[in-house]
Structure 1
Amino acid sequence: MNSDVKTIFSSYHNNAQLFDEVFDSNGVAKNVYQKLLDLYGNHSIQEYVQLNNKAKASFFNQGITFQVYDNKVTQEKIFPFDLFPRIIDEDEWEIIEKGAIQRSKALNLFLWDIYHDKKIIKDGIVPLDLISSSANYLHQMIGVDPPGGIYNHISGTDIIKHSDGHYYVLEDNIRCPSGVSYVICNRTALKRALFGVFNHYKTHSVTNYAENLLEILESVKPKGVDVPNCVVLTPGMYNSAFYEHSYLAKAMGVELVEGRDLFVENDFVYMKTIRGPIKVDVIYRRVDDLYMDPLEFKPESALGVPGLFAAYRKGNVCLANAPGTGVADDKAIYTYMPQIIKYYLDETPILNNVHTYHCSRPDELKYVLEHIHELVIKPVDEAGGYGISIGNRLTKDEIKVVQEEIKQNPRKYIAQPIMSLSVHPTYIDESESFEQRHVDLRTFTLLGHEKEFVLKGGLSRVALKRGNLIVNSSQGGGSKDTWVLKK
């Protein structure tokens, strides 16, 4: 190649103050990436742009989109994807996987307890007012026994790698964790654009997620059912994650239904078909709790199924995830995760929490109000990166606004130190070069009746704006394919 040609890493600036996952502080590639860099690190920018466009075309042709909401307009966008993959070696992944399973199991036991005996509250580990004040605690779930004893069939654990080289959990997502379809499509797009690159690495597959999800769902079938009929319940095509709903239904080989496609009779759920009603046994629901049954929750909901919750309460249908799991999604509950793991499993957490201040505690509230400039403020019940304030990016006037919001409703907010997320080389269209961008990782854990599974890869999300720490697609983030190497 002509020495004057600009290669994809020739202008890469390695800021030694950031933890770069590909290059060390001297700019030398780490061993696990050396082969990848040898394979296509010498591509010219023009060659890389052609490959990148090929990947974008793959996403466009597959219809891989998501919805972005703001106060003025709703937009449907092609999901941003970066061709340069993230690699996690087998030893690091073993820690991540064991930690994700540990948290999922502990949260499941926690959910069972707070809807039954409430031992963790009686023993003074988690305060009663924290549970009772959670908007996602459903009194209707008290005493209800979910099939197989599972609440969080699907869990998404958001993990970062800090500048100290260790992994930390930022938050747990167990209401309706999304993004797994992008994991699979990232892999497909990368294989199409970089044909043959996988011949040089032994990586775990991510295309086995759907079959494992179906197996998990079938394992929690209601009693007396031999061959369960499973469906995916979606709010409809205008939902931000509709692509994922349709993708997973197709990949599992089950029906994608809306609330209007189902009805309840004698406390059993049926699907309307041209051949007549067909009984439904397991519903993977992507409809929020309060919209799933207008007879039990919001009467104005047109998304749910009248009588669905009564059928669930009688054990005639399984809902995944179970109603009421959102209480464990509460970022205030996250502050108690080390104690929850110790209480139910008698184990030390494998993955550490980020130190977290909960503003409902008077002493911690005082600290947060005085140190907002060095903290990240998060609402406990939001998702998608909405409502987050990063203190060192705020003006004095903006800090005052945040202080007032916290004072008016301390229960609604937590605060964490501004963590230095690891960075990964990412191609930026505007500069036509690779630049360091912050990344995190969402793992996907499945729990069933005597079954468990963690997708060996997960979703590496990238903050595409320089210096941004918020990686969510709704906040302008993208993603990378994540390779977990085989031993």
Structure 2
Amino acid sequence: MIFAIYHVPFNKTFFMENIENQIFSSYQRNPDLYDEIHDKKGKVKEVYQKLFNLYGEHSIKDYVTLNNKAKSSFFNQGITFQVYGENNIQEKIFPFDLFPRIIDPVDWDIIERGSIQRSKALNLFLWDIYHDKKILKDKVVPVELITSSANYLDQMNGLNPPGGIYNHISGTDVIKHKDGKYYVLEDNIRCPSGVSYVICNRTALKKALFGVFNHYQTHTVTNYAENLLELLESVKPKGVDVPNVVVITPGMYNSAFYEHSYLAKTMGVELVEGRDLFVENDFVYMKTIKGPEKVDVIYRRIDDQFIDPLEFNPDSVLGVPGLFAAYKKGNVTLANAPGTGVADDKAVYTYMPEIIKYYLNEEPILNNVHTYHCSRPDELKYVLEHIHELVIKPVDEAGGYGISIGNKLSKEEIEKVKAEVKASPRKYVAQPIMSLSVHPTYIDDTESFEQRHVDLRTFTVLGKDKEFVLKGGLTRVALQRGNLIVNSSQGGGSKDTWVLKK
């Protein structure tokens, strides 16, 4: 059990006279960055004032104690992730900062509506490119961009997923730039991860700081599992009354295994591996001690190429032989649908404003970051000439792997990146170096609060007749000073995200 900070009535005079004893006394604000809790004059914003005061009543020693207890709690609960290095695999506690991020109702409305808009547009886009291909015929999106994507599956052409849903779960990575506007960095609709940390962050913070938490009217995040289960059940195969839902995982050595087990447990469904399932007469069954049990909906956390060795990678031992045949017959639902990865290709991201307008006849609610696709000769030329001021990203990687930030590279590293881009231009996009907003974050090494860059991953779930956005999302923090890559696999951490009620 994490210790609790109990609320002491705040006295403004006491706080101002004893500022040297407070945990924010060494906080240094860079006015060139968008600081989420301070305005341009350095004054704490109204929405954060109460939180700032409450935390400031306690010493850094108190905070260190709480921080260590939080770490122990995460470790004891098994809230870890795995980092894959060149020579080894490390299991780490998920870094969590106890000072939360607050999003007011006005800002959240923009984020929520924008996330739903993108998810709906991407679902329509996926239906189209695997059916009529109108957007390709109208030359809004180039045909070769789709057919050259490593995540485009010819096997999905003409297939109708139950309920007409491809991207049942979408993760939208949103930042706030120094201009105060929200931008989407990328869309994740293959197997977006991180939602379990959202819920665990809230639980840990409430245990540690319930005296602080109760001063705000904040939306819950613990209703995600029930909404996810409801929406998965809504896309059940035809003829099924009460669907049997399972979560399939690659196994305990996967970096997100904690999340797989957590979601299965909170939804009250079975967590299975490929070896626990089999296909007979184009139906999927789960092995149980009572005999075979039919499975109707599979929330999969296994990549396309590994789900069925008879259809995709023949060497896969993670999937289920015959699974795709059962899916083609409409006897089982796979969430997300195979082939969705073509739509979160970072080159396709370039066309998101056009995709939204084409299918929804709406202007994008969330801004795109201007993106250069290196397969275009003129844009490749620009990227090679301005690589020192750009972020270079591989189009099909995740977890922050393969990203190069131009102004952090040496001359030798720049030349290496140039050579890689020129060798495979289709594989890379480039974006201006965006100034992610910063947030006060406790740093172990200095035992003080410092500015650190943050982003936000929202989680949108689409069902047959309903959509749901988790009112919180995962605020990820780049824990290294000046670093812009927030992914946990690259040394990032997270914060609890409070979306305030109106």
Instruction: Give me the TM-score of the superposition, normalised by structure 1.
Output: 0.99
1:187 matched to 2:197? The reply is no
Q: Tell me by how many angstroms 1:4 deviates.
A: 8.4
1:221-240 equivalent positions in 2, closer than 5 A: 221-240=236-255
Query: Residue 343 of structure 2 aligns to which amino acid in structure 1?
Result: A
How far apart, CA to CA, are the structure 2 residues paired with 1:48 and 1:174? 37
- Could you say which residue in structure 1 is the equivalent of 2:410? 395
- Structure-2 change in CA distance of 1:143 and 1:4 (3 Å): closer
1:260 matched to 2:260? The reply is no
1:156 matched to 2:171? The reply is yes
2:325 pairs with 310, 313, 317, which one? 310
Which deviations, in whole Å up to 9, do the C-alpha atoms of 1:106-164 show, x marking residues without a partner? 00000000000100000010001000000000000000100000000000000000000
1:404 matched to 2:419? The reply is yes
Q: Tell me by how many angstroms 1:5 deviates.
A: 5.7
Query: Residue 168 of structure 1 aligns to which amino acid in structure 2?
Result: Y
8 Å Cα contact 1:294/1:305 also seen in 2: yes
Q: Tell me by how many angstroms 1:199 deviates.
A: 1.8
How far apart, CA to CA, are the structure 2 residues paired with 1:269 and 1:393? 50
8 Å Cα contact 1:55/1:192 also seen in 2: no
Q: Tell me by how many angstroms 1:309 deviates.
A: 0.1
How far apart, CA to CA, are the structure 2 residues paired with 1:415 and 1:42? 45
How far apart, CA to CA, are the structure 2 residues paired with 1:40 and 1:134? 49
8 Å Cα contact 1:5/1:44 also seen in 2: no
2:368 pairs with 348, 353, 359, which one? 353
- Could you say which residue in structure 2 is the equivalent of 1:139? 154
How far apart, CA to CA, are the structure 2 residues paired with 1:403 and 1:43? 50
Q: Tell me by how many angstroms 1:198 deviates.
A: 2.3
1:469-480 equivalent positions in 2, closer than 5 A: 469-480=484-495
Query: Residue 80 of structure 1 aligns to which amino acid in structure 2?
Result: P
1:99 pairs with 105, 110, 114, which one? 114
- Could you say which residue in structure 1 is the equivalent of 2:443? 428
Which deviations, in whole Å up to 9, do the C-alpha atoms of 1:254-282 show, x marking residues without a partner? 00000000000000000000000000000
Which deviations, in whole Å up to 9, do the C-alpha atoms of 1:84-104 show, x marking residues without a partner? 000000010000000000000
2:337 pairs with 308, 313, 322, which one? 322
1:198-209 equivalent positions in 2, closer than 5 A: 198-209=213-224
Query: Residue 216 of structure 2 aligns to which amino acid in structure 1?
Result: Y
1:28 matched to 2:28? The reply is no
How far apart, CA to CA, are the structure 2 residues paired with 1:30 and 1:451? 36
8 Å Cα contact 1:14/1:25 also seen in 2: no
Which deviations, in whole Å up to 9, do the C-alpha atoms of 1:296-335 show, x marking residues without a partner? 0111110000000000000000000000000001000000
8 Å Cα contact 1:444/1:454 also seen in 2: yes
1:372 matched to 2:381? The reply is no
Which deviations, in whole Å up to 9, do the C-alpha atoms of 1:368-417 show, x marking residues without a partner? 00000000000000000000000001111111111111110100000000
How far apart, CA to CA, are the structure 1 residues paired with 2:41 and 2:470? 33
Query: Residue 221 of structure 1 aligns to which amino acid in structure 2?
Result: K
- Structure-2 change in CA distance of 1:297 and 1:4 (3 Å): closer
Instruction: Give me the TM-score of the superposition, normalised by structure 2.
Output: 0.96
- Could you say which residue in structure 2 is the equivalent of 1:47? 62
Aligned residues: 487
How far apart, CA to CA, are the structure 2 residues paired with 1:444 and 1:5? 40
How far apart, CA to CA, are the structure 1 residues paired with 2:395 and 2:99? 33
How far apart, CA to CA, are the structure 2 residues paired with 1:37 and 1:3? 14
Secondary structure of 1:249's aligned partner:
helix
Between stretches 21-30 and 197-206, larger displacement belongs to 21-30
Report the aligned-residue RMSD: 0.9
Q: Tell me by how many angstroms 1:195 deviates.
A: 2.2
How far apart, CA to CA, are the structure 2 residues paired with 1:406 and 1:267? 44
2:476 pairs with 457, 461, 475, which one? 461
- Could you say which residue in structure 1 is the equivalent of 2:9? none
Secondary structure of 1:68's aligned partner:
strand
8 Å Cα contact 1:341/1:349 also seen in 2: yes
- Could you say which residue in structure 2 is the equivalent of 1:250? 265
1:334 matched to 2:349? The reply is yes
Secondary structure of 2:214's aligned partner:
helix
1:37 matched to 2:52? The reply is yes
How far apart, CA to CA, are the structure 1 residues paired with 2:18 and 2:288? 65
Q: Tell me by how many angstroms 1:45 deviates.
A: 0.7
How far apart, CA to CA, are the structure 1 residues paired with 2:476 and 2:492? 7
8 Å Cα contact 2:300/2:335 also seen in 1: yes
1:126 matched to 2:144? The reply is no
1:212 matched to 2:232? The reply is no
How far apart, CA to CA, are the structure 1 residues paired with 2:22 and 2:399? 35
1:298 pairs with 309, 313, 323, which one? 313
Between stretches 306-315 and 20-29, larger displacement belongs to 20-29
1:269 matched to 2:284? The reply is yes
How far apart, CA to CA, are the structure 1 residues paired with 2:203 and 2:406? 38
8 Å Cα contact 2:19/2:25 also seen in 1: no
Q: Tell me by how many angstroms 1:26 deviates.
A: 2.6
